[in-house]
Amino acid sequence: MVGTLDPAAGGPPQVCLRLGAAQAALGHDVHVVYFSTTAAHARIEAEVGRVPNHERIRLHPVVDPGARERLLAPRARRVLDDLIADADFVHIHGIWGTLLITAARAARRRGVPHCFQPHGMLDPWSLSQKRLKKRIALRLGYRAALAGASFIQTLNVDEQRLMAPLRLGVRTVVVPNGIYVEEIEPLPAPGTFRAAHPRLADRPFVLFLSRLHYKKGLDILADAFALLGRQHQEVSLVVAGPDDGARQDFETRVAKSGLRDRVHLVGPLYGRDKLAALTDATCFCLPSRQEGFSVAVVEAMACGVPVVISEACHFPEVAQAGAGLIVPLSAARFSAALAALLDDPRLARSMGAAGATLVRERYRWETIGRQSVTHYQEAQQEP
**Strand duo 90-93 + 114-117: pairing:** parallel
Tell me if the pTM is above 0.75: yes
Q: Do both 174 and 194 map to the same domain?
A: no
C-alpha to C-alpha distance for 83 and 77, rounded to whole angstroms? 10
Q: Do both 354 and 241 map to the same domain?
A: yes
Question: pLDDT 10s digit of each residue in the chain, 383 long?
Answer: 555 554 443 345 678 889 999 999 999 999 999 888 787 777 777 777 788 888 888 888 888 888 888 888 888 899 999 999 999 999 999 888 888 999 999 999 999 999 999 988 998 988 899 999 999 888 888 999 999 999 999 999 889 999 889 999 999 999 999 999 999 999 999 999 999 999 999 999 999 999 999 999 999 999 999 999 999 999 999 999 999 999 999 999 999 999 999 999 999 998 899 999 999 999 999 999 999 889 999 999 999 999 999 999 999 999 999 999 999 999 999 999 999 999 999 999 999 999 999 999 999 999 999 999 999 999 998 77
Q: Do both 186 and 174 map to the same domain?
A: no
Closest CA to 337 of 308, 298, 301, 305: 308
Q: Do both 207 and 332 map to the same domain?
A: yes
Q: How many domains does the chain have?
A: 2
Closest CA to 311 of 332, 336, 328, 294: 328
Q: Do both 53 and 200 map to the same domain?
A: no
Closest CA to 190 of 182, 202, 206: 202
C-alpha distances (whole Å) from 170 to each of 1, 116, 364 are 21, 11, 27
> What secondary structure does DSSP assign to 300-340, as a single string?
HHHTT--EEEEGGG--THHHHTTSEEEE-S-HHHHHHHHHH
The domain spanning residue 245 has which CATH number? Answer: 3.40.50.2000
Q: Do both 358 and 371 map to the same domain?
A: no
* Amino acid at the residue 262: R
Q: Do both 230 and 350 map to the same domain?
A: yes
Q: Which residues contact 188 (CB under 8 A, 6 or more apart)?
A: 272, 275, 276, 279
Can you give the residue range of the structural domain that contains 17? Answer: 2-178+365-380
Q: Do both 243 and 349 map to the same domain?
A: yes
